Amino acid sequence: MAKTDFTTVDDYIASFPEDVQAVLAKVRGAIRKGAPGADEVISYQIGAFKLHGAVFHYAGWKQHYSLYPTSASLLATFGDELSAYDVGDKGTIRFPLDKPVPVRLITAMTKHRVQENIEAEAAKAVAKAASKKPVAKKAAVKAKR
């Protein structure tokens, strides 16, 4: 596939042969089902969903399609189901194009990723609030002077 600057996910998917388009459409639908309300975007010139942060990027290749990123928690939770697939050490899961799309698995992993994002966002908010408390105390002390 030649390098192209895709502006929509539809354009990205349309750049593949029809059989691959059908697979990517199923992957896209599974992610949508797991992350209703997520924004669908082109990121790194591939399809992606974002909800409270990146949920999944997905890409088609000659022999497989991939989902990115994974996490230790996701791999631990879905390790048995993922044992049938090529799970890379850099956060990539590769699924063969010639096998049925594991829609339920992808949907469940998507829900897991959304929950991870929500928890990470909450932890950042708590950390941010905690870091502001000493500043607020200093400002209150200065105001009393």
Give the domain CATH number at 121.
3.90.1150.200
| Residue whose C-alpha is closest to residue 101's, from 20, 41, 36 | 20
- Say whether pLDDT at 1 is over 50: no
Q: Is residue 86 part of a domain?
A: yes
Q: How far apart are CA 64 and CA 130, in angstroms?
A: 45
- DSSP E strands in the chain: the ranges are 39-43, 46-50, 54-60, 64-68, 86-87, 93-96
In this structure, the number of other CB atoms found within 10 A of the CB of residue 51 comes to 19
Task: Please tell me the predicted confidence (pLDDT) of residue 134.
Answer: 59
Q: What are the percentages of helix, strand and coil residues in the chain, rounded to 5?
A: 50, 20, 30
Q: DSSP letter at 42?
A: E
Q: Is residue 54 part of a domain?
A: yes
Task: Please tell me the predicted confidence (pLDDT) of residue 50.
Answer: 97
Q: Is residue 49 part of a domain?
A: yes
**Structural domain tally of the chain?**
1
Q: Which residue range forms the structural domain that includes residue 27?
A: 9-144
Select the more confidently predicted residue: 136 or 119: 119
pLDDT band for position 125 (50/70/90)?
Answer: confident
Q: How far apart are CA 31 and CA 109, in angstroms?
A: 9
Q: Is residue 2 part of a domain?
A: no
Q: Is residue 4 part of a domain?
A: no
Poorest-pLDDT segment among 44-58, 84-98, 107-121, 126-140: 126-140
Q: Is residue 3 part of a domain?
A: no
